[in-house]
């Protein structure tokens, strides 16, 4: 299959590109497009055959349900059975934006989209190109991250090309995304509502608005034998090819320990990558050191995370050592993805 790649300017949308993307989606094809979180791989969510193509292109396990992306509030009525009041309040505040909510699904939503579940995950993205492509494609677009399953999620069109060229119909290139980690997932079918995946919309932000919010235990206790409530969270996800170790503790001791570990591996002949921050970068003396952002603003860290993991893959890196991030806010989402990428290999120094 030939993959069409077209660039689009978020400030001035090219209507021909939007129309082309919409026509492909309406005809059951696959289009990757930018959202504010990561690039999504879109298909008509109400067309079971189209949704199935997403699983094939990504190599995604069939029990891992898709998030349906909508562009207008009235679209939510059509695909859900009931909309709890708290969901309406959260939607008013955070939609369009990086929040996905789970509802009882309406019959119109095929099981092929929900991985056999009778619930459906829905998000209204903020990215102007995403909104227009969703509308042009019929209004209900299933769109998981546009990567090969198991690889770090794509934050640029180039990342999508690396994974999916020849497997999908079109890539709409709208430049780098702004957030860089996937949406917060909030299950509205339980009381209190429960966070199944941390993202840019934090527990605090939600609790200020709708009261108590629970957190899926498997996010807090990674060793727990419990199965995550979001099926996708059980897979080793976001993973670079290198073995990743996260070091936490006093930042001075962390940098010293990383230097020691890096030197030892380099002496054994391995390629070593280091993930540091603006505050620490000068302290590293060995290996391929990349700056992920500043601790003063962990949004910068979220924005660079997946790109850096992919860069280490292209460099043929064998071992990666990373500082840890856990100051709350979006740092929780960053740490959740880093821990998964590391297979929960966390060392306290």
Binding site for Mg ion (CB under 5 A): 145
Closest CA to 112 of 202, 24, 194, 44: 44
Q: Is residue 141 within 8 Å of residue 25, measured between CB atoms?
A: yes
Q: Is residue 141 within 8 Å of residue 135, measured between CB atoms?
A: no
Task: Tell the smallest beta-carbon distance from residue 3 to ligand AMP (Å).
Answer: 20
Q: What is the DSSP string of 295-342?
A: TTBHHHHHHHHHHHHHHHHHTT-SEEEEE---SSTTHHHHHHHHHHHT
* Spatial distance between the Cα atoms of 300 and 303, rounded to a whole number of angstroms: 5
Sheet of strand 288-291: strand arrangement: 288-291, 272-276, 319-323, 243-248, 346-348
- Contact positions toward ligand AMP, by CB under 6 A? 64-65, 67, 102, 114, 117, 119-121, 144-145, 182, 185, 196-197, 229-233
Q: Tell me the backbone φ, ψ of residue 244, rounded to 5 degrees.
A: -105, 130
Residue 221 CB partners (closer than 8 Å, separation 6+): none
Task: Tell the smallest beta-carbon distance from residue 310 to Mg ion (Å).
Answer: 14
Per-residue DSSP letter, 224: -
From ligand AMP, Mg ion, none, interface partner of 65 (C-beta below 5 to 8 A by class): ligand AMP
From ligand AMP, Mg ion, none, interface partner of 180 (C-beta below 5 to 8 A by class): none
Task: Tell the smallest beta-carbon distance from residue 186 to ligand AMP (Å).
Answer: 10
Q: With H, G, I as helix, E, B as strand and everything else as coil, classify residue 69.
A: strand
Considering just the CA atoms, what is the radius of gyration of the chain in Å? 20
Task: Tell the smallest beta-carbon distance from residue 145 to ligand AMP (Å).
Answer: 4
Nearer to ligand AMP, 67 or 164 (CB): 67
* Spatial distance between the Cα atoms of 128 and 130, rounded to a whole number of angstroms: 5
Nearer to Mg ion, 153 or 255 (CB): 153
From ligand AMP, Mg ion, none, interface partner of 341 (C-beta below 5 to 8 A by class): none
Task: Tell the smallest beta-carbon distance from residue 313 to ligand AMP (Å).
Answer: 19
From Mg ion, ligand AMP, none, interface partner of 21 (C-beta below 5 to 8 A by class): none
Task: Tell the smallest beta-carbon distance from residue 337 to ligand AMP (Å).
Answer: 11
* Spatial distance between the Cα atoms of 207 and 213, rounded to a whole number of angstroms: 6
Nearer to ligand AMP, 21 or 67 (CB): 67
Nearer to ligand AMP, 65 or 152 (CB): 65
Task: Tell the smallest beta-carbon distance from residue 93 to Mg ion (Å).
Answer: 25
Closest CA to 333 of 219, 205, 218: 219
Task: Tell the smallest beta-carbon distance from residue 204 to ligand AMP (Å).
Answer: 22
Task: Tell the smallest beta-carbon distance from residue 144 to ligand AMP (Å).
Answer: 3
* Spatial distance between the Cα atoms of 22 and 293, rounded to a whole number of angstroms: 36
Q: How far apart are the first and last CA of the chain?
A: 50
Nearer to ligand AMP, 271 or 340 (CB): 340
From Mg ion, ligand AMP, none, interface partner of 114 (C-beta below 5 to 8 A by class): ligand AMP
From ligand AMP, Mg ion, none, interface partner of 174 (C-beta below 5 to 8 A by class): none
From ligand AMP, Mg ion, none, interface partner of 67 (C-beta below 5 to 8 A by class): ligand AMP
Nearer to ligand AMP, 28 or 231 (CB): 231
Measured at the CA of 341, the angle between CA 337 and CA 345, to 5 degrees, comes to 105
Residue labelled with tokens 């991030």: 325
Nearer to ligand AMP, 67 or 261 (CB): 67
From ligand AMP, Mg ion, none, interface partner of 170 (C-beta below 5 to 8 A by class): none
Q: With H, G, I as helix, E, B as strand and everything else as coil, classify residue 249.
A: coil
| Per-residue CA distances from 166 to 5, 42, 159 (Å) | 11, 15, 14
Nearer to ligand AMP, 65 or 293 (CB): 65
Q: Which residue has its beta carbon closest to ligand AMP? A: 232
Nearer to Mg ion, 155 or 255 (CB): 155
């Amino acid at each position: 299959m030939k993959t069409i790649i077209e660039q689009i300017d978020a400030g001035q949308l090219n209507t021909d590109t939007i129309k082309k993307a919409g026509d492909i989606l309406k005809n059951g094809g696959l289009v990757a497009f930018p959202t504010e979180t990561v690039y999504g791989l879109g298909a008509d969510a109400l067309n079971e055959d189209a949704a199935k193509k997403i699983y094939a292109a990504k190599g995604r396990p069939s029990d891992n349900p898709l998030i349906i992306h909508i562009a207008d509030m009235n679209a939510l009525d059509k695909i859900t059975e009931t909309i709890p009041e708290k969901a309406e309040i959260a939607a008013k505040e955070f939609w369009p934006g990086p929040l996905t909510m789970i509802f009882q699904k309406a019959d119109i939503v095929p099981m092929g989209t929900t991985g056999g579940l009778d619930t459906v995950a829905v998000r209204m993205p903020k990215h102007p190109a995403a909104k227009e492509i969703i509308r042009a494609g019929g209004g209900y677009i299933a769109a998981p991250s546009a990567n090969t399953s198991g690889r770090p999620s794509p934050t640029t069109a180039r990342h999508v090309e690396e994974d999916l060229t020849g497997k999908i119909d079109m890539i709409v290139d709208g430049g780098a995304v702004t957030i860089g980690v996937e949406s917060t997932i909030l299950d509205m079918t339980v009381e209190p509502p429960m966070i199944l995946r941390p993202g840019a919309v934090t527990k605090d932000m939600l609790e200020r608005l709708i009261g108590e919010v629970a957190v899926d235990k498997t996010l807090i206790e990674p060793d727990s034998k419990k199965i995550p409530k979001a099926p996708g969270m059980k897979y080793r996800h976001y993973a670079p090819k290198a073995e990743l170790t996260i070091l936490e503790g006093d930042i001075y001791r962390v940098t010293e320990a990383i230097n020691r570990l890096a030197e030892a591996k380099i002496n054994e002949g391995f390629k070593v990558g280091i993930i540091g921050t603006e505050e620490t970068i000068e302290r590293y003396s060995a290996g391929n050191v990349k700056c992920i952002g500043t601790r003063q603003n962990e949004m910068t860290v979220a924005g660079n995370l997946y790109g850096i993991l992919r860069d280490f893959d292209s460099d043929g890196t064998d071992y990666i050592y990373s500082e840890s991030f856990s100051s709350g806010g979006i740092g929780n989402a960053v740490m959740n993805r880093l821990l998964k990428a590391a297979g929960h290999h966390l060392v306290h120094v």
